[in-house]
Amino acid sequence: MNLIEKIEAAGVVGCGGAGFPTHRKLSGSFEYLIANGAECEPLLRHDRWLMRNKASEIVQAMDAIGAELNIPNLVVALKDHYHAEAEAIEAAAAKLGSKVRVHRMESFYPAGDEQTMVYEVTGRVVPPAGIPAEVGAVVDNVATLFAVYEAMQGISFTKKYLTVTGEVYTPSVLHVPVGTPLLKCIELAGGAKIADYMVVTGGPMMGKPMTAEELQTAAVTKTTGGILVLPADGYHAKTSQLNVKRMLSRARSACIQCTSCSQLCPRHMLGHPLQPHMIMRKMAMGGDPKDMLDDPIIRSAALCCECGICEVYACPMGLNPRKINSLIKQDLREAGIRYERQQTSWEANPEREVRKAPTDKVAARAGVYRYNKLECSNFVEYDPQADR
């Protein structure tokens, strides 16, 4: 088997959240292989652990993919304060005689969004509703690349690296089999420190809040990146209780058209024709979004990456442009409507650099700043057989 066949046979999928099959993502011709080591969301730490402890394996996987697909540029993109991680990658590359290099980015959110990362590394704008391959790049999470290394050794992708943090006694990076109960993962991190808590799977910006009932049966999947134990009366609990009717009512009554959501939108800053404030203006006119799907402004919601900057960080009124965009995207999918580009070239906004949202400030707005500063160096390798 060649490398791509080994990756397919091992069942490797993207570990950054989307879960797209890696062998399909690597089908094509590329100028850049970019390893995403930015750990986009606040609080998450497992990618940093992997870069410190599995740097050689990550570099070897990148070299193998580069050789297989004849990719000239191999880049690990990470935040500039990830000093130990950058040094580990650079040391491994030097020892192996690899052409892998490190690209340091500022600490902003969402640095790990792949379209944002492609622009940071290459200066090329991925077209609206497009993929990095359209500008000669492919982006894989560093955890995905470690899984590729294991696939090269004939090891199937059946275990997941993830972060458990928040209101737990020992914030930890875990390596657990897919299918491990989330409650067991919380136990492996020392257990919850508070009795009344909620769980968010993923990160604090784009993660999924779980009900107590869902938590009882929830288990780790190939795309589980984080388990956040948060207070039951905190920001995430309150926002998760908003229903569609309430969100639309608030949009109609409270949006002041300040345009902050558009000014800080990462996709708008890349030159994409997405302006959340204009979508909110349409919502203020009343009516059912399903009846407005022919409107070009409403259709532009398809370009939203749902990072949450608009509602968590930008909006002074505490409204929910991201959630409304998500609802419209669902309506567009159900109607079979795909976004059609009206332009042939795009340029990033010249003010983009000064409009980046600092990660610490984003964490503070999301109510998780204190957890973002927690030490998370404890590592747990979990073997279910040991419990029997």
Dist. CA 61–CA 56, nearest whole Å: 9
Residue 243 has pLDDT above 80, yes or no: no
> Does residue 128 form part of some domain?
yes
CATH code of the domain in which 171 resides: 3.10.20.600
Output the pLDDT for position 352: 96
How many CA atoms lie within 13 Å of 338's alpha carbon, on the beta-carbon side? Answer: 4
User: What mean pLDDT is predicted for residues 74-97?
Assistant: 98
Looking at per-residue pLDDT, the higher value among 16 and 259 belongs to: 259
User: Are 40 and 112 contacting, i.e. CB atoms less than 8 angstroms apart?
Assistant: yes
Verify that 82 and 197 share a domain, yes or no: no
pLDDT exceeds 90 at position 221: yes
Structurally, how many domains does the chain consist of? 3
Which helix (H) or strand (E) segment holds residue 327: the answer is helix 321-334
Instruction: Give yes or no: residues 21 and 123 share one domain.
Output: yes
Of 190, 211, 235, which residue sits at a domain end? 235
| Closest alpha carbon to 37 in 13, 22, 15 | 15
Taking the C-alpha atoms of residue 183 and residue 97, their distance in angstroms, rounded to an integer, is: 43
* One domain for residues 29 and 73: yes
**What domain range includes position 56?**
3-152
CA distances from 330 to 59, 273, 335 (A): 38, 19, 9
Confirm whether 356 is domain-assigned: yes
Q: What are phi and psi of 75, to 5 degrees?
A: -130, 130
In a domain, 185, yes or no: yes
Q: Say how far apart CA 301 and CA 297 lie, in whole Å.
A: 7
Residues 26, 138 contacting (CB under 8 angstroms): yes
Residue whose entry in the numeric block shows the structure tokens 């200066």: 123
With respect to residue 290, please indicate whether it lies within any of the assigned structural domains.
yes
pLDDT score recorded for residue 16: 78
Cα torsion 367, 372, 373, 379 to 10°: value is 140
Beta bridge partners of 141: 36
CATH of the domain at 146: 3.40.50.11540
> 264 and 223 in one domain?
no
Indicate if 165 and 143 belong to the same structural domain.
no
Quickly count helices (H) and strands (E) in the chain: 18, 12
What's the whole-model pTM score? Answer: 0.95
Task: Identify the CA nearest to 310 among candidates 357, 351, 349, 371.
Answer: 357
User: Is residue 59 one of the residues assigned to a domain?
Assistant: yes
Contact 206, 363 (CB under 8 A): no
| 227 and 253 share one domain | no
Cα pseudo-dihedral 165, 170, 175, 176, rounded to 10: -90
Distances from the Cα of 223 to the Cαs of 157, 201, 353, in angstroms? 11, 10, 31
Do 180 and 161 meet the contact criterion of CB atoms below 8 Å apart? no
pLDDT digits (tens, 9 = 90+) for 3-14: 999 999 999 999
Give per-residue pLDDT as tens, 247-271: 888 888 888 999 999 999 999 999 9
Q: What is the pLDDT of residue 242?
A: 73
Q: Reduce the DSSP state of residue 68 to 3 states and report it.
A: helix
Residues 192 and 303 grouped into a single domain: no
SS3 363: helix
Query: From CA 229, how far away is CA 328, in angstroms rounded?
Result: 30
Instruction: Summarize pLDDT for 320-330 with one digit per residue, the tens.
Output: 999 999 999 99
Res. 348: pLDDT tops 90? yes
**Residues 131 and 177 grouped into a single domain:** no
pLDDT of 343 higher than 90: no
pLDDT grade, residue 231 (50/70/90)?
very high
Are residues 15 and 115 located together in one domain of the fold?
Answer: yes
Tell me whether residue 38 is in a domain. yes
Q: Are residues 85 and 37 in the same domain?
A: yes
Q: How far is CA 175 from CA 170, 205, 379, in A?
A: 15, 23, 8
Q: Do 203 and 118 reside in the same domain of the chain?
A: no
pLDDT, residue 247, reads 81
Query: Is 385 a member of any domain?
Result: no
Specify the pLDDT at position 21: 95
81-90, 220-229, 233-242: the lowest-pLDDT one? 233-242
DSSP tag of 43 = T
Give the model's pLDDT for residue 388: 66
Contact in structure between 41 and 163 (CB atoms under 8 Å): no
End-to-end CA distance of the chain: 37
Tell me: pLDDT of 385 over 90.
no
Instruction: Write down which residue in 152, 181, 210 finishes a domain.
Output: 152
Cβ neighbours for 120, distance < 8 A, ≥ 6 positions apart:
77, 103, 105, 111
Which of 307, 16, 293, 1 is CA-nearest to residue 151?
1
Same domain, 14 and 115: yes
Residue 173's φ and ψ, nearest 5 degrees, are -100, 125
Alpha-carbon distance of 146 to 54, in angstroms, equals: 8
Instruction: Tell me how long the chain is.
Output: 388
Report yes or no on 381 lying in a domain: no
Domain boundary among 94, 128, 152: 152
In angstroms, rounded to a whole number, what is the distance separating the alpha carbons of residues 53 and 377?
11
Q: Which uninterrupted H or E stretch holds 108?
A: strand 108-109
Is pLDDT of 274 > 80?
Answer: yes
